[in-house]
Amino acid sequence: MPQRTAYSQGTPNWVDLQTTDPAAAKSFYGGLFGWEFTDLDGPHGSVYSMALKDGAVVAAIASDDAARWNTYFAVSDADAVAAKIEPAGGKVLAGPMDVMDAGRMAFAEDPNGVTFAVWQAKNHIGASLVNEPGSFIWSELMTEGIDAALAFYEEVLGLTKNVVDLGGSPFTGLNAGETMIGGIHAPTMEGAASRWIVYFSVADVDATVALAKELGATTVHGPVDTPVGPLAALRDPQGGSFSVWAYNGPVS
pLDDT tier at 105, thresholds 50, 70, 90: very high
Q: Which amino acid is at 134?
A: G
Percent of the chain with pLDDT over 90: 88
Average pLDDT over residues 233-245: 98
Same domain, 151 and 116: no
Q: In this predicted structure, what is the pLDDT of residue 44?
A: 67
Report whether pLDDT(251) > 60.
Answer: no
pTM: 0.95
Q: In this predicted structure, what is the pLDDT of residue 171?
A: 93
Is 212 part of any domain?
A: yes
Same domain, 144 and 205: yes
> What secondary structure does DSSP assign to 86-104, as a single string?
TTTT-EEEEEEEEETTTEE
Query: Nearest Cα to 203, choosing from 234, 229, 167, 233?
Result: 229
Residues 6+ apart with CB under 8 A from 83: none
Q: In this predicted structure, what is the pLDDT of residue 120?
A: 98
Same domain, 87 and 188: no
Is 167 part of any domain?
A: yes
Same domain, 232 and 209: yes
Average pLDDT over residues 132-153: 97
Contact 111, 152 (CB under 8 A): yes
Q: In this predicted structure, what is the pLDDT of residue 252?
A: 39
Is 7 part of any domain?
A: no
Is 26 part of any domain?
A: yes
Which residue, of 94, 121, 148, is where some domain finishes? 121
Same domain, 143 and 240: yes
176-216: pLDDT as tens digits = 999 999 999 999 777 788 999 999 999 999 999 999 999 99
Same domain, 140 and 236: yes
Same domain, 49 and 109: yes
Is 6 part of any domain?
A: no
Residue 162 burial (10 A CB sphere; 0-12, 13-18, 19+): middle
What's 154's domain CATH number?
Answer: 3.10.180.10
Average pLDDT over residues 16-43: 95
Same domain, 63 and 147: no
- How far is the C-alpha of 151 from the C-alpha of 193, rounded, in Å? 21
Q: In this predicted structure, what is the pLDDT of residue 249?
A: 76
Residues 6+ apart with CB under 8 A from 169: none
Which residue, of 121, 150, 172, is where some domain finishes? 121
Is 94 part of any domain?
A: yes
List beta partners, residue 109. Answer: 91, 115
Which residue, of 121, 148, 183, is where some domain finishes? 121
What mean pLDDT value characterizes the chain? 94
Same domain, 96 and 197: no
Is 126 part of any domain?
A: no
Is 105 part of any domain?
A: yes
Same domain, 104 and 54: yes
Report whether pLDDT(83) > 90.
Answer: yes
Q: What angle do CA 244, 245, 248 make, to 5 degrees?
A: 170
- Tally of structural domains, the chain: 2
Same domain, 20 and 103: yes
* The length of the chain, given as a count of residues: 252
Same domain, 116 and 141: no
Q: In this predicted structure, what is the pLDDT of residue 43?
A: 67
Which domain range does residue 238 map to?
136-245
Report whether pLDDT(99) > 50.
Answer: yes
Q: What are phi and psi of 71, to 5 degrees?
A: -105, 130
- How far is the C-alpha of 243 from the C-alpha of 197, rounded, in Å? 7
Q: In this predicted structure, what is the pLDDT of residue 1?
A: 54
DSSP H helical segments within 100-226, as ranges? 146-157, 205-214
Give the residue, 95 or 80, on which the prediction is more confident. 80
Average pLDDT over residues 60-66: 95
